[in-house]
Amino acid sequence: MQNRHLRFLTYFIMGYMLLAFVWWSFLLFTKNRDAFHAKIELQQIGMAAEGVIQSPMDFYVSERYQELVTSYRKQERMIMGETIFLSLSLLAGIYVIYRGYRREVASSKQQRNFLLSITHELKSPLAGIRLALETIAKRGDQLPPDKRQMLSMRGIKEADRLNKLVEDLLLSARLESAYQFHQEPLALEELVERIVLQQSQQNPEAEIDFSASTSLAHVSGDRQALTSVVINLIENALKYSSPPAKVVVSLRQQGDQLCLEVADQGIGIRGQDKKQVFEKFFRVGSEDTRKTKGTGLGLFIVKELVKAHHGTIKVRDNQPQGTVFAITLPIATVKKEQSSLPVV
């Protein structure tokens, strides 16, 4: 609210200054013209008194008159030029303030969303772990072993979630400073296949298909970073689909690039949101109404990791519904059969 008042005050002052410029310019024009006419009269009288001209009309063909006209036009051009320059500078200033304000609003909305989501993301696994431990502590000996096992697994799952959140926060902070990658030739199809298998086991109700072209080249990359990229995309595809989720992961080679696509048939992403999903803390909609868990860090991390591997990431609509995230990564210069370095 205070920001809005400040913005209006700034616009008001700038508008006032713009009008003042125009008004001062107009005044300068008239003063310049008056001074020009006064000089003409003065010169006419002076030259007539000295006998240089016979009649006042002779003055208009004299050299002195030409000089006065040239100087008058020069002054006029100067006033005009300065008015245009100052007005344009002011307009540019207004535009910069407006753009800054829009960014400020978007960023504070994202920060607020982040605070709300992080509070939720920190509190809910902690509550889950506490509840599981409390139940085991109070009624552990009366509980059947399978129930005890189920509670322990729930606690472990929540602890993993907490761990992932902390890792994401640390990783996103490190990605913004200098982050050291460990580059090695990787068989991406094996890495993706392993993740797809893991995700299928963790989400038995979901259908995750994986297809890859044969004899794909290796990429040169950081195994941990690329694992995080693929997991993030598959987890999002599952999270933003109504169950039972159907996800198709495909890998193919296109020239000197490997193209990885993760396609879902979920809720999809609207046009204007597609531009923002890779921004830090951005989540579609508002934290007050959203039902899914998350922090808005996942796609930011994915984009930064892909960028660090000299790759690209794009998002588009899936048909008839859902989203496709498409990544390209340059293939390693070392050929698969020649590589002596460890592969996945």
Of the pair 264, 304, the CB lying nearest ligand ADP is at 264
Binding mask 18-57 for ligand ADP (x = CB under 6 A): ----------------------------------------
Q: Which stretch binds ligand ADP (CB under 6 A): 17-25, 86-94, 156-164, 290-298?
A: 290-298
| CA nearest to 315, candidates 244, 253, 266 | 266
First CA to last CA distance, the chain: 54
DSSP string, 29-64: HHHHHHHHHHHHHHHHHHHHHHTS-SSGGGGGGSHH
Of the pair 184, 304, the CB lying nearest ligand ADP is at 304
CB of 283 to ligand ADP, least distance (A): 3
Query: Is residue 311 near ligand ADP by the rule CB under 6 A?
Result: no
Q: Give the tokens for residue 19.
A: 């009008």
CB of 211 to ligand ADP, least distance (A): 19
Query: Total residues contacting ligand ADP (rule CB under 6 A)?
Result: 20
Q: Which of 132, 234, 248, 269 binds ligand ADP (CB under 6 A)?
A: 269
Q: Pick out residues in 231-260 that bind ligand ADP (CB under 6 A).
A: 236-237, 240
Query: Is residue 318 near ligand ADP by the rule CB under 6 A?
Result: no
In eight-state DSSP terms, residue 250 is E
Of the pair 220, 265, the CB lying nearest ligand ADP is at 265
CB of 149 to ligand ADP, least distance (A): 29
Which own/partner contact pairs does 294-300 have at CB distance under 8 Å and 24+ positions apart?
294/117, 294/121, 294/239, 295/114, 295/117, 295/118, 295/121, 295/165, 295/168, 295/169, 296/110, 296/113, 296/114, 296/117, 297/168, 297/169, 297/172, 298/168, 298/232, 298/235, 298/236, 299/232, 299/236, 300/172
> Would you tell me which residues interact with ligand ADP (CB under 6 A)?
236-237, 240, 264, 266-269, 277, 282-284, 294-300, 323
